[in-house]
């Protein structure tokens, strides 16, 4: 006959969630993992049915009935919290009248690992639960890696979209962005004003001081336009020294005249680049979306161009409204 101590050692190795009970259902030995589930309760000496509630088979309510359940699967839970669900198998010991009851978590293993901080050391080395834990861990790691990759891809996509709509020299919107804004406002039937601004004498700055000075002037002009407009307005560089400002919801001509006046005044002030004065001015033409019965982007852009050309013909460094032109056709 196997020495009882050898039997217990064998069971601890192969079945770390075993219970050794006597013929009266009193727990004689408990596997280390099972004891870990109830660290404050000494399982040895407790009655099996005092610790566990049998869920199935429902007909088993006594120890003799339990002992007769050889090879039948048991479904049980702890009486106290947390009421972890367990599965069991009874193996009677022929000479002692007792039995070995081997327990497992079944599909509750993930909850158990979380609730009791179990590790691979708490299971038999051949237990398929270990494989499941590794698969879950691998899946979690893969999902986390996937989420991280998706976030990076989204960030890269947003950065690429932002770059596609941005003028790299000035940081303003570009023509593509302006076209997108105009299409959106027109489709939404929003009222707006479109201001076309051209820097006068910019070519002479480039010719006299070089392209670095010209780039500096464009950057300073962009800064001034941003400072004189609102956050929900769109300032775009649409050509070498040409800019378009779209004023959302603003169609008051007196207000637009005042904004254009401030822009002209500030852009007329000489800019210093490496101790050299860079002198430009600004000619501006403005058209209103409300001047058109059927509005198209090309039409309002053309109207603002006509007003701009009139400002240049009138001596530059001034602002003209399309509505004041004698050949205006709203």
From 167, 200, 233, 241, active-site residue: 241
Query: Residue 85 in contact with residue 108, Cβ under 8 Å?
Result: yes
Which residues are 193's β-sheet partners? 247, 288
CB under 8 A, 24+ apart: contacts of 146-152: none
C-alpha count within 13 angstroms, C-beta hemisphere, residue 157: 6
The angle formed by the CA atoms of residues 79, 82 and 87, to the nearest 5 degrees, is 65
Separation between Cα atoms, residue 194 and residue 150, nearest integer Å: 39
Buried b (16+ CB within 10 A) or exposed e, 170-203: bebbbeebbbebbeebbeeeeebbbbbbbbbebe
Q: Peptide bond before 82: cis, by omega within 30 degrees of 0?
A: yes
Instruction: Please say if 207 is a catalytic residue.
Output: no
Number of H helices, E strands in the chain: 11, 13
Q: In this structure, what DSSP letter does residue 239 have?
A: S
CA distance 105 to 120: 14
Helix (H) / strand (E) element for 270: namely none
158 by Cβ neighbours in 10 Å (0-12 / 13-18 / 19+) ranks as: exposed
Instruction: Tell me the C-alpha distance between 110 and 188, whole Å.
Output: 52
- Active-site residue set: 241
């Amino acid at each position: 006959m196997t020495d009882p101590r050898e039997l217990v050692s064998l069971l601890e190795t192969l079945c770390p969630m075993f219970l050794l009970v006597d013929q009266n259902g009193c727990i004689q030995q408990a596997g280390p993992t099972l004891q870990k589930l109830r660290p404050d309760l000494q399982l040895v000496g407790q009655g099996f049915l005092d610790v566990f509630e049998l869920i199935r088979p429902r007909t088993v309510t006594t120890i003799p009935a339990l002992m007769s359940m050889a090879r039948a699967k048991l479904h049980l839970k702890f009486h106290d919290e947390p009421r972890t669900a367990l599965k069991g198998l009874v193996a009677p010991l022929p000479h002692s009248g007792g039995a070995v009851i081997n327990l497992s978590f079944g599909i509750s293993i993930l909850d158990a690992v979380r609730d009791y901080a179990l590790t691979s050391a708490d299971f038999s080395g051949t237990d398929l639960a270990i494989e499941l834990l590794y698969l879950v861990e691998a899946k979690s790691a893969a999902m986390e890696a996937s989420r991280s990759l998706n976030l990076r891809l989204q960030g890269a996509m947003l950065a690429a979209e932002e770059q596609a709509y941005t003028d790299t020299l000035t940081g303003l919107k570009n023509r593509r962005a302006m076209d997108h804004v105009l299409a959106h406002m027109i489709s939404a039937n929003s009222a707006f004003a479109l201001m076309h601004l051209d820097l006068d004498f910019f070519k002479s700055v480039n010719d006299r001081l070089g392209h670095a000075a010209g780039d500096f002037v464009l950057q300073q002009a962009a800064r001034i336009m941003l400072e004189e407009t609102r956050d929900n307005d769109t300032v775009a560089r649409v050509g070498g020294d040409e800019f378009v400002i779209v004023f959302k919801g603003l169609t008051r001509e007196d207000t637009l005249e005042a904004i254009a006046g401030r822009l002209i005044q500030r852009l007329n002030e000489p800019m210093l680049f490496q101790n050299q004065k860079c002198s430009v001015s600004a000619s501006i033409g403005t058209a209103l979306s409300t001047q058109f019965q059927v509005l198209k982007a090309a039409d309002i852009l053309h109207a603002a161009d006509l007003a701009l050309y009139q400002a240049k013909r009138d001596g530059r460094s001034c602002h003209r409204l399309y509505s004041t032109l004698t050949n205006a056709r709203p």
